[in-house]
Amino acid sequence: MIRITRDELKSSANDNLIAAANQVTQDIENFCVYTWLAPLKLIKKALDSKYMEATEKLSLLTEEMKGVTDIAAVQVSIQGTSSPILVTQDNFSERLKRISLSPEKILELKPEQIEELRKTGDIFAGDLTYLAQLDTWLITVILRLDDTTFHGSATLSARISLDRLLRHIRSSPFTETAMISLIDSGGCSLFERAAPTPERGRLFETVRGLLAANIRTMGTGVNVLPSGERILGAYAFPNSLKVGVIVEIKESDAYLAVTKMEWNLILYVLFGVAIAFAGAIAVSVWLTKPLRRLTQAAYKISQGDFSAAADMKVRRSGDEVGKLSTTFVEMGEALKESYKALGEYSRTLEQRVGERTEELKSSLVTIQETQEKMMESLRYAKMIQMSLLTNQEKLKERLPESFFLWMPREIVGGDIIFTDFFEDGFIAAVIDCTGHGVPGAFMTLIASSGLNRIVRDEKCHDPGEILRRLNFIVKTSLHQDSNTALSDDGMDAVICFISQPNGSPRRTLTAAGARLSLICIHNEEVTVIKGDRQSIGYKKSRMDFAFTNQTLRVENGMIFYMATDGFPDQIGGESGRRMGNRKFIELLKETGRKPFGEQKDILLHAFEAYMGEHERQDDVTVVGFGIND
């Protein structure tokens, strides 16, 4: 019975610990979004403005720094300039100067640091640093600025003090009964300034492993100290900051109510037995019989027969034996009531567990049915999307030396391949739409419909003009030509037209790209026909942008490749970094020496080998074809 109560309390304790860890995680998220990112996004918006002069932006930046508390410094870095613009917070700078430290040397970020950190996306938050001289933790936040405003790659970075966040967590009501710890991926505790001691290392090692694997989850665990004391713990991870939150409590504190119940029961039994033995030694032989009855009754009670106390007859109420018998009867009745209460609690608990189990089973069935319906819908959507792609068998009939590799990251994806053949040549195109999964698949429908309308209905074979018209279709379809547009989506593309006029042996290739390139390999030499630095769609793109056509003469033995950025942007290898365009082109050059029938499998195996245990980053599409008479 007590075991059931203990298990219930353990479940309740774990629920409370997870709730506490989630609350601390939410506090960290609130600080990141509202206290740090909100003012930085306002500063970014001002810096991106094309209607403010540089002096006005600098003045605004300086004024904003006077009103912030946690931001120690902001820095604007523009690629190609000799030095960044660094504005520091006055109070933090004074603290550094008082201990003879240069604010610029401590707070400035080097270009190589920014370049490494910004690879994760448009917004980066991480790079925890401990300043021992100030007993302060700093975090780095980097936002990408508008390239068109600064005529090149530019970033807004900030060094943020975590002092106020840590004080807030220390003042949490959970700290009255529990221990709260924050650790980074290196295993250092933001409260203890050092790696956890071995006796606390088990739960800490679990959290470190999850941080290293970039897994955001929650869970509970038990840690046993060398002294034998057991510690209950729970952990969770905020999305914005790469730290783990651990909340711990001693098991003895969590089970205090049950422990008291056990000791009370033991003391009751020991008390009765002690009185029985003391009476047998202290009184004469004439007391033996009633004491024997007391002993037998105590044994029955210990076996769960509480009626033994009620059956006791108190014949002598005036002496010690009578008083002992009376007390024993009362104790038996009290134990009987306690046992009934525990039995009722057990039955109620079993009923609640059964009801919750049935509810969970019902919810699980509903979730499984819903998930299956969603998967059926996605599988059907994939079938629809694949019907929009070029048929590989039909492509080989018209272009024997060719292949294409189409691997969406999810069931459906945001990449699409388009081909069409005419009497005087053929068109091939690769489109990379915003996002992947279902959102990307919706964008491919717009792209496919637009290309069919331009190429097949309007008979347009000029790559640059096709991109210009497709840009118009995307922007008008998504209402990006108005101020009320909700969507800021678009796509990158590369299109080529191989022409061969009837009766003429001379063939030419005309290509145009929107941030994607065409790669040509001939006689071991690689030529990259780069696309314009302009995407299709998006709110900020120009409606009337004229995409550039580039033409070259086609010779026998030439091999051409078109690909989205999913292949070169994949993270993997021994360094855990993206493959990059240089390695990708070298791989294509080596693959081009093989027959086209083998090239698809070679590229697929190379991609999987480089990715290893890392997660797929994006949809992957590669199209290759060769020209031979």
Model pLDDT for residues 44-87, shown as the tens digit of each residue: 887 877 767 777 777 777 776 766 778 888 888 887 777 788 88
d(CA 126, CA 394): 50
pLDDT above 70: percentage of residues in the chain: 81
Instruction: Give the Cα separation of 136 and 166 in Å (integer).
Output: 10
Query: Residue holding tokens 């069931």?
Result: 411
d(CA 293, CA 273): 12
Distance of alpha carbon 413 from alpha carbon 620, whole angstroms:
9
Integer angstrom CA distances of residue 109 from 113, 158, 268, 334 = 6, 9, 70, 73
pLDDT at 512 over 90: yes
What pLDDT shows up at residue 256?
64
Average pLDDT over residues 403-420: 93
Higher pLDDT, 504 or 437: 437
- At residue 561, the pLDDT reads 97
pLDDT band at 100 (very low <50, low <70, confident <90, very high): confident
Residue 139: the pLDDT is 85
Cβ pair 243, 190 in contact under 8 A: yes
**pLDDT bracket for residue 495 (50, 70, 90):** very high
The CA-atom distances, in angstroms, between 272 and each of 277, 329, 383 are 9, 11, 79
Question: Do residues 537 and 491 touch, judged by C-beta distance below 8 A?
Answer: yes
Question: Which of 33, 143, 221 is closest to 25 using CA atoms?
Answer: 33
Look at residue 614 in the predicted model and tell me its pLDDT: 92
pLDDT at position 246, please? 87
Q: What is the model's pLDDT at position 4?
A: 46
Q: What's the rounded mean pLDDT across residues 516-530?
A: 95
N residues, the chain: 629
- pLDDT-derived band at 304 (thresholds 50, 70, 90) equals low
CA 373 to chain CA mean position, Å: 26
Domains identified in the chain and CATH numbers: 2-166 (3.30.450.20), 256-350 (no CATH), 389-627 (3.60.40.10)
198, pLDDT greater than 60: no
Cα distances (Å, whole numbers) of residue 606 to 73, 107, 263, 463, 578? 44, 42, 67, 31, 14
Instruction: Give the residue-averaged pLDDT of 259-280.
Output: 51
Q: What is the pLDDT of residue 306?
A: 61
- pLDDT attached to residue 324: 63
pLDDT tens across 437-491, in order?
888 889 999 999 999 999 999 999 999 999 999 999 999 999 988 888 888 999 9
**What is the pLDDT, as a whole number, of residue 396?**
87
DSSP 326: H
b vs e for 126-156, b when ≥16 Cβ sit within 10 Å of the residue's Cβ?
A: bbbebbeebebbbbbbbbebeeeebeeebbb
Residue 310 pLDDT exceeds 80:
no
pLDDT digits (tens, 9 = 90+) for 199-214: 556 777 888 888 777 7
Residue with the two structure tokens 């920014």: 114
**pLDDT for position 308:** 62
Whether 214 contacts 191, CB under 8 Å: no
Between residues 144 and 446, the one the model is more confident about:
446
Question: Residue 104 pLDDT more than 80?
Answer: yes
| Total-model pTM | 0.47
Short-list 236, 224, 306, CA closest to 269: 306
Q: CB neighbours of 301 closer than 8 A, spacing ≥ 6?
A: 269, 272, 308, 309, 332, 335
* pLDDT above 50 (res 272): no
Mean pLDDT of 347-362: 82
Q: What's the mean per-residue pLDDT of the chain?
A: 81
Above pLDDT 90, what percent of the chain?
Answer: 29
Q: Which of 169-173, 558-562, 610-614 has the lowest mean pLDDT?
A: 169-173
Q: What's the pLDDT score for residue 146?
A: 81
